[in-house]
Structure 1
Amino acid sequence: MLQDPKSHVSWSRFRADAVGTTAVEFAMLAPLFILLLLGMVAYGIYFGASHSVQQIAADAARTAIAGLNQTERQALVTDFINHDVAGYPFVDAHKLTVDAKDSVIDGSQFVVSVSYDARDLPIWNLLDSLP
């Protein structure tokens, strides 16, 4: 019976063969690389939302300057949030909590506080498909 000479490849020749090493290296590193990319995307989304909330607070404070008292400032800030927040990325106006009041330390100043519920940002859904 004739045998194919290629079927009796020696172990030392098999160990020295470099065919397919790139595929093995890619299979080992690709999950880490994809996880790193998803982490950068998640950080970018969260950083973008954080920057938007900071900008909303600054714009709301500029709007509140026009108010003469605490009630008018709160009304101006609420109106700003209801009408102008739609243009900010990753921010839903219904999840913002805004408060404009006079400062307790210095009566000639006022404080505009903005908080945002980030539980519905898309970053929390990025890793759902991973085991």
Structure 2
Amino acid sequence: MRYRRLKEESGTAALEFAIISPVFLFMIAGLLAYGIYFGAAHTVQQIAANSARAALAGLDMAEREHLARTTAFASAGTNGLILPDSMEVQVAAHEDEPTLIFVTVTYDASSLPIWNLGPPLPLPDKTIRSVSVIRAGGF
């Protein structure tokens, strides 16, 4: 009788679930939070690329800057991950090569849910920055 009680396995699955489920749920939450962060980073990269392409149509630097900013904020407004209020767009020509136009999009990602995961995880930078370069005519 005593040997039979030691060998009984009822409740083992519930005990294993109680041990493993918090770790599993934390991993799922981490995957979701990092996925949202990487989605936002990809979106910032796409906004910078689209803004650089739009800046190419301008005739002078002021018009290029206006086109890039308009495109960037219009793109951010249609996306659910990026808040236009937290985004900054800079357009500048390269100092040595004036035909190269740099469009830099900087996004403050502190409103994303990844920061709720806590200190045990290695967290990325709260500022997402992407630079796109395009040549404005010539060789």
Normalising by structure 1, we get a TM-score of 0.82
- Residues in 1 aligned to 2:86 and 2:42: alpha-carbon distance in whole angstroms: 16
More strand by share: 2
Query: What one-letter code is carried by the residue in structure 2 that aligns with 1:113?
Result: T
- Which is worse superposed, 75-84 or 61-70? 75-84
Q: CA deviation at 1:126?
A: 5.5
* Residues 1:102 and 2:93 aligned together: yes
Normalized per residue, which structure has more helix?
1
Provide the C-alpha distance between the structure 2 equivalents of 1:34 and 1:123, rounded to a whole number of angstroms: 15
Residue 50 (1) aligns with residue 51 (2) = no
Kindly name which structure, 1 or 2, has the bigger radius of gyration based on alpha carbons. Answer: 1
Taking the aligned partners of 1:82 and 1:50, their CA distance within structure 2 comes to 16
8 A contact 2:91–2:101 mirrored in 1: yes
Alignment identity in percent?
A: 39
Structure 1: 5+ residue runs without aligned partners?
1-8
Matches within 5 A, 1:1-131: 10=2, 12-125=3-116
Q: Secondary structure at the match of 2:104?
A: strand
What is the Cα deviation at residue 74 of structure 1?
1.1
CA RMSD for the aligned pairs? 1.6
* Alpha-carbon separation, structure 2, partners of 1:82 and 1:28: 47
* Contact kept? 2:47, 2:75, Cα under 8 Å: no
Q: Distance in 2 between matches of 1:54 and 1:93?
A: 14
Secondary structure, aligned partner of 1:99: strand
TM-score, normalising length: structure 2: 0.78
Cα deviation for residue 68 of structure 1 reads 1.7
User: How far apart in 1 are the matches of 2:39 and 2:73?
Assistant: 20
CA distance, structure 1, for counterparts of residue 22 and residue 115 of structure 2? 19
2:22 partner letter:
P
Larger RCO: Structure 1 or Structure 2 (Cα < 8 Å, ≥ 6 residues apart)? 2
